[in-house]
Structure formats: structure tokens, C-alpha cells
Chain A
Amino acid sequence: MKKLIMQISALFLLVFLTDMAIIVISGRDHSYFIAANIDKQEKLRGTSSPKIVFVGGSGLAFGLDSKLVEGAIKFPVVNMGLHAGVGLKYMIDEVMPYVNEGDVVVVVPEYDYFYGDIVYGNCQLIDMIVLYPENIRYLSARQYVPILRLIFENAQARFQNSIVKIVKGDKNRGYNNVYRRDGFNDYGDMVAHLDKESADVASMSLGIGGKFNEDTIRILVEAGNVLIDKKARLYFLYPAIPDLFYRKNNNNKSLQEVHKNLLNSFGVAVLGEPGEFIFPVEYFFDTPYHLNKAGRKARTEQLIGKLTKALETEYKN
């Protein structure tokens, strides 16, 4: 039996080492989209308080005009939006050390966080850590639990991308080559897509539902409480999705469940309802979360309205 256990262990170890080798050999591509994290962190550290910090995934990166927000609200703005796959927990923990008295944190997470378990991060979190190992300090103990699984997922993604790269002969920079570090502006907004043609988002799918993840609410409430202690504020804003998908597949029922759970939680100021943040599908660029130029403008104006009202109410109180 010992012989068999040794042989099996050796095989599994070899598989694990191969996966690690794939991650190491495929390298740290500092020109890739996720590498912009370091620029955003630098911006965050270098922006004086009071400031507005937007936290979210790529939906936020694609769909916010920070300059417009800054001009309207008169607070410096930092857009930390990057990739939903790094996980909401990481995104919030990453900004907390740099939030000070008077700051406003606006969380705009994708709906995926409320169903499934990507709130603690997907294989993109491994991409982030491989690129910037120092970001390990922002990981909580809970995030170390699935790390083995994430390493395997990451190695798988890299392996498959490498095959595509070899066959196609170019770097996979996503639809219309926009997923690049230099696609972001100084505020942290993704701008490389603004003058590109949109994909046929109407033909895509967006399923929101399944087992509700209570951890997401807990993470938001905990963040809200920490910010109260810091004399800062936390607002929650729903992401923009196409009207077409809002009505499909019982998505609107799932979104109402999200809204109900948020309203029932203490310490999370929710600005609006999910139904207010639906836009025509023509406003989307290449996924049901990524707004194009027209969508970005409409969404930013809506956000400015919501935030202005919330801040005015806050000051009155």
C-alpha cells in the first residue's frame, strides 16, 4: 500500500509542479489588462483626501468617466475597477489601507458576486499575484483555502491561451485588442474601447441566479463598518446591464433578491434599485457588463445624479 500511495503522490506532485511551471514559463505579462492594477494602486496612494474611490470589476473600468465625475462632484476620483475575477474581497481589502477620513468608497460589483463563489476571487486573482507578489498582503485567510484550485484554473487558462497564441500567432488581447494595460487613462478608466466598434452583445447570454452567496453581503457590511470607524462612507451602486438580459431567464427575480438582501443588511447605503441601471443593449461594447462610449456617458451621468443626491443628503444630516 505504501508503494501505491508513494506512486500516486509522486504523480500528483508532478502534475502540480507542471502547473506551476506553466504559470512561471508563460510569464508575467506587464502589458496585459490586469497589470494596470499597479498603476491604479499608485494613483490611489498618490491622491489626497477627501477623494472618491470606485471599487468594482471590469464593468466599472469600462463604464465610468472619472473626469466627468470629478468635474461634477469636485472630489478627486480614482477608478480601481479592473476584473471581477480578482474577487470583491480582494478589491475592497486592497483599497482599505488608503481610505481616510472624508473619503467616499463606491462599490459597483458585478452581479456574479451574489451567486457562485467568485467573491473570493477566480484564477485572475492568481494572475494578479503572479504579476505583483506583494499583493499577497491583501489576501485574507479565507482566500488561501481555494488557492490550490485557483492555481489549477490559472494554469489551465494560461495553457489554453498559449495554444491559441501559438496557433493565431499573436497575443490574445480580447475583443478588438483593448485588454491592455495602456488602455487605461490616468484616472484608471478603460478608454481603449471608446472608438471601437461594439460586438453583437444581444447575441450573448447573461444568467444571474443560483444559490445566493451571503458572504458577499457580509463582506460589504464589514467594509461599511470599517469605513464608519474611519469616518469615511460606503455606497453601493448596481452595475449596468442590458435591458434585454434584465428581462431574460428570471434575471430580474434574482436581482430583486439581491436588492432585498442588501436593503436588509445594516451599514450598506444602496443607491437605487437594479431596474434603474438597465440600458439599451446598443450601449454595450463586448460583454453584457462593458459599456461603450455612449453607454459610458449615460451611465456616468446617472451615477453623478445618484451620488450627488446621496452626498447632499449626507451633508444635510
Chain B
Amino acid sequence: MLVIFTSVEFFIFFPVVVLSYFWLPQRFRWLLLLCSSYYFYMCWNPSYVVLIFFSTLVSYITAIQMGKAVSKQKRKGYLIAGLVANLSVLFFYKYFNFINDSVGAIFDRFDVFYGVSGFEVLLPIGISFYTFQTLSYIIDVYRGEKEPEKHLGVFALYVSFFPQLVAGPIERSTRLLPQFYKKFDFDYDRVSDGLKLVLWGLFKKVVIADRLAIYVNEVFNNPGDYQGIPVILACYFFAFQIYCDFSGYTDIAIGSSKVMGFDLMDNFKRPYFSKSISEFWRRWHISLSTWFRDYLYIPLGGNKVGRWRWHYNILVVFILSGLWHGANWTFVVWGALHGFYMLFAVWTKSIREKFIMLVGLNNYTIVHKYLKVLITFHLVTFAWIFFRANSIPDAFVIAGSLFKVDISGSLLVAGVSHFGLVLSLLLIGFLVFIHSIERHEDIRQFLSKKPAWFRYAIYYILLMGIALLGVFEAAFIYFQF
């Protein structure tokens, strides 16, 4: 019985947990949430808890020992031990077979025998997320930014907190851990605000993302069967699918947490309105991009080093970010492409500024702004091809198919009716409309100023939208990471 956010099981599980949470005295709440989180995780696969508990215990002990250690040498030793232990688990379950197969392919190429066989392992759901969360904790303790958490149960809750366990946001210990000690009473405004976010997240996921997925999956799973406009449409659709899927999940995670009083970080800030790739990464999967900034990019020297070292740092961070998403060369290429975009922006900055002056675009700030948004969106959408494609050759087939436009060809693909296609386009339009409103004001704040009848009409429409237009079969994309 999987307890995913769009399942009936979650809509039984969550109210039971929330009601129990508010009913219990504060001193027992951590235990309820911990048991609920482990139960939530075990519903995916009971054996997963062994790994998450191992990661929890190792990180807990590492931090405690670092706190006790007097010498910097010893602290560093514990840090390395903690990092190695956590990363080893991640490496084994997620990357061993990928690296092994890749090395084997190289040996095959040169007709050299390679006898190392892979392992049949199930990738534990959420491992990339909670591993990075524990790593950030260990590093924060090492840096002296966080005191070691003494309460093993509360720390275990920090690692396994069910709203953000399987797909983030990746929370910093300095932010989330202290909240587990605070007492949150039932507050009508806070709880209803959280539920509104859950509703909006559900709508984005089951109405928009999963609808778009039907078209996208048909094209990307059958590269070469489609060319031109259907491929272009599939690429645009995927850009919105992945946004709605992931941000929808995040909204449900943040909303569910808010119901109980916990404040999780924002993970998305209307990323497709970014005017540059660097801005995009300040607005997309913020918890991951800030993680890489704080724990990899800055320790590597960031931009405080020589020019070429700085460029190297950018490329390494983006390649590793790609690899974090999955053990497949498609993700590596996707990450590298974004790294290249960043570097290209740096290399061409002065040329672009001169060009803008030359054509007078600097006199048309709004046109210039929208042009930048459009270009950034298309660069990101093009890179998504590699993210979504099942393999590198497939990605190149799809990218190549973009330019074989046949005006007389059908827009439809197998499994998608005219109704489905028109609905997909209307939903994207609706999403863009909502985001346009949010340029000036958060939509929930906008709604809170409206009369009650208006607000309830909106909630009713969203619920009816989910009931009448929702697609309920697909998993969340980021669960596979």
C-alpha cells in the first residue's frame, strides 16, 4: 500500500497523523512524527528503513564525536568518516552499476575482458535527498554552524520527516531541527493556508503534469516515430510537466508541513520567468542548488579563484548536479549543458552587452526583459531533452527531429485525443496566467483578500478540476532520484 501524495491512502494517513499530532502532548509529538515517517517510508519497501536508519545513526554519531573532539584533526577525521559512510551507501545503491557498466563498455570497445558483474539492487526511494540532508548536517556541525543534535529520535525525524523525505526540499539542520522542539497549536489560518498549498500542488500534479505526461511519454518513449511539431510540443510540454510535477510535490510537502506548524523552504520561484541561466538556478530546485553552492562550489573556491579554476568549478558543480539526478549519461550531459550555458554567458557577456547597445534594446527594457526570459526558457527546454530522454542516442534523435517540421502533419500522437491536446494547451495557458498574477502578489495572499464566497468558489473549482480532469496513474518524476 503506497502512501504517495496523490493516493487515497495519503488522504487517510495524513488526517490521522495531523489529528493525532494536535491531540498529543508536545513531548510525544516527535515520536508520532517519527513513527509516521518510518511507516510512510516502509510502505514503499520495508527494507528501505535499514538504510535510512544506518545513515541516521552514522551521521548522529559522527556529529556527536565531532562535538566532543578537541583537535581539528580529529574533527576532520570524523567528518571524512561520516561523509564516506553516507556517500558509500549512495554510491553503491545508485551509481555502482552505472559506473561498472560504463567501464565495462569501455573495456568491450577495446575487446578487453572485464569480469566485474553488477549487483541487482533496488534504488531506495529518496536516497539522494536524505543523504544530502545528512551530509549538510555533518558539514554544518564540522563548520561550527550547528551544535550536534543530542536527541537521536529528533535527529532521526529530521532525516526522515515524511513530507520532504522522498523528494525534498533538502532542508538544512539549522532551519528544520529547531522547529521540532517548538510547540505548534492548531491555528486556523496557518492550517488552512497549508491545505490551500496542498490543493494547488495536487492540481498542478494530477491535472497539469500528468496530463502533459501522456503526450510527452508517447514522443520520448518512441523517438524517431515523430518529427517536427509534435516533438517541439513534447519538449514544451515536458518543461511544464516537470515543473508542475516537482513544484506540485513541493507544494504538497510544504503545505502538509505547514498544517503541522513546520516551515519548509521554498523550492521554486517561478523559474521560467528567469532572465538568465544563473537566475534560473536561483529559482529552480532552490534547496539543491543552494546545497551545491554551499557544500561544493564555495569549498572549491567558487569565483574567488583564478578565471579558469572558476570555470572548472562551475562545470564540476553542474556535472555533479546532473549526476545527482540519476545514474545515466543523459543526466550528466544535461548538467554539463547547463554548465556550458553558464560559461557561455560569462564568455559572451561583453559581446552581448555591446550587441544590445548596438540594436538599441537597452532603450526597450520590457522587450529586452521578455526576450531574455524567452531565450532562457528555450535554452532550459532544450536541455530538458537530455533530462527526459531514455538514452543519449534517443536524445539526439529527438533533438534532430525538432527541425524536421511538416506543416501539414498532425499534432496528435498515439493515445492523445484532440480533447487531450487542447486541454494540455489550455492548462499551460492557465498556469502562465496564474504565474503572471504571482509576479505582483502571492496567489494565496491575493485570495485571502477576497470575500469568502469567492475563495470557496476557487477551492471548489480546483477540487472539481482534480476530480474531472485529473490523471491519477503517474508517479512523481523526482521520486526516481
Contacts and interface: CB of A to CB of B under 8 A. Distances in A.
Interface stretch (B379-387, B390-398, B463-471): B463-471
Contact of B460 (A14, A155, A160): A14
Interface in B441-481: 456, 459-460, 463-464, 467-470
Contacts of A12: 463
Nearest to A163: B419
Interface stretch (B27-35, B110-118, B187-195, B245-253): B187-195
A15 B456 CA distance: 12
Given A3-B188, A156-B467, A156-B468, A204 B414 contact: yes
Contacts of A14: 460
A138 interface: no
Contact of B195 (A8, A152, A205): A8
A203 B464 CA distance: 34
Contacts of B54: none
B419 A160 contact: yes
B419 A15 contact: no
Nearest to A3: B188
A1 B22 contact: yes
Interface in A144-167: 149, 152, 155-156, 159-160, 163-164, 167
Contacts of A3: 188
B419 A4 contact: no
B186 interface: yes
B415 interface: yes
B216 to A, nearest CB: 15
Contact of A160 (B8, B192, B468): B468
A135 to B, nearest CB: 25
Contact of B464 (A4, A18, A149): A18
Contacts of B464: 15, 18
A152 B22 contact: no
Contacts of A311: none
B346 to A, nearest CB: 45
A19 interface: yes
B470 A156 contact: yes
B414 A205 contact: yes
Interface string B405-439: 00000000011011100000000000000000000
Nearest to B413: A203
Interface string A1-45: 101100010011011001100100000000000000000000000
A205 B415 contact: yes
A11 B198 CA distance: 15
Given A11-B459, A15-B463, A156-B469, A4 B414 contact: no
A155 B467 contact: yes
Contacts of B459: 11
A48 B464 CA distance: 49
B467 A15 contact: yes
Given A159-B468, A203-B414, A205-B414, A11 B460 contact: yes
A160 B467 CA distance: 11
Main secondary structure of the interface of B (DSSP, over half): helix
B467 A11 contact: no
A11 B464 CA distance: 10
A205 to B, nearest CB: 6
A8 B195 CA distance: 10
A1 B419 contact: no
Contacts of B188: 1, 3-4
A245 to B, nearest CB: 13
Contacts of B22: 1
A152 to B, nearest CB: 6
A122 to B, nearest CB: 12
Contacts of A4: 188, 191-192
A80 B456 CA distance: 47
B315 to A, nearest CB: 38
Contacts of A203: 414
Interface in A37-81: none
Nearest to A151: B467
A194 to B, nearest CB: 25
Contacts of B469: 156, 160
A159 B418 CA distance: 15
Interface string B173-186: 00000000000001
A156 to B, nearest CB: 5
B224 to A, nearest CB: 13
A11 B463 contact: yes
A11 B458 CA distance: 11
A164 B463 contact: no
A14 B457 CA distance: 11
Contacts of B419: 160, 163-164, 167
Interface string A211-225: 000000000000000
A22 B464 CA distance: 11
A15 B460 contact: yes
Contacts of A163: 419
Nearest to A16: B467
Interface string B268-292: 0000000000000000000000000
A8 B15 CA distance: 12
Contacts of B191: 1, 4
Nearest to B11: A12
Contacts of B418: 164
A19 B469 CA distance: 12
Contacts of B414: 203-205
A224 B370 CA distance: 69
Interface string B147-164: 000000000000000000
Nearest to A164: B419
Contact of B8 (A15, A149, A156, A164): A149
A55 to B, nearest CB: 27
Nearest to B259: A4
A159 B470 CA distance: 12
Interface string B89-119: 0000000000000000000000000000000
A206 B379 CA distance: 35
A203 B414 CA distance: 7
Nearest to A161: B419
Nearest to A8: B195
A1 B460 CA distance: 20
Interface string B302-345: 00000000000000000000000000000000000000000000
A14 B464 CA distance: 9
A12 B460 CA distance: 9
Nearest to B415: A205
A164 B420 CA distance: 10
Contacts of B468: 19, 22, 155-156, 159-160
Shortest beta-carbon contacts, A-B, top 10: A159-B468, A15-B463, A1-B186, A156-B468, A164-B419, A15-B467, A152-B467, A11-B459, A4-B188, A15-B464
21 contacts: A1-B22, A3-B188, A4-B188, A4-B192, A8-B195, A11-B456, A11-B459, A11-B460, A11-B463, A18-B464, A18-B467, A152-B467, A155-B468, A156-B469, A159-B468, A160-B468, A160-B469, A163-B419, A164-B418, A203-B414, A204-B414
Given A156-B468, A156-B470, 7 more contacts: A1-B22, A1-B186, A4-B188, A8-B195, A12-B463, A155-B468, A164-B418
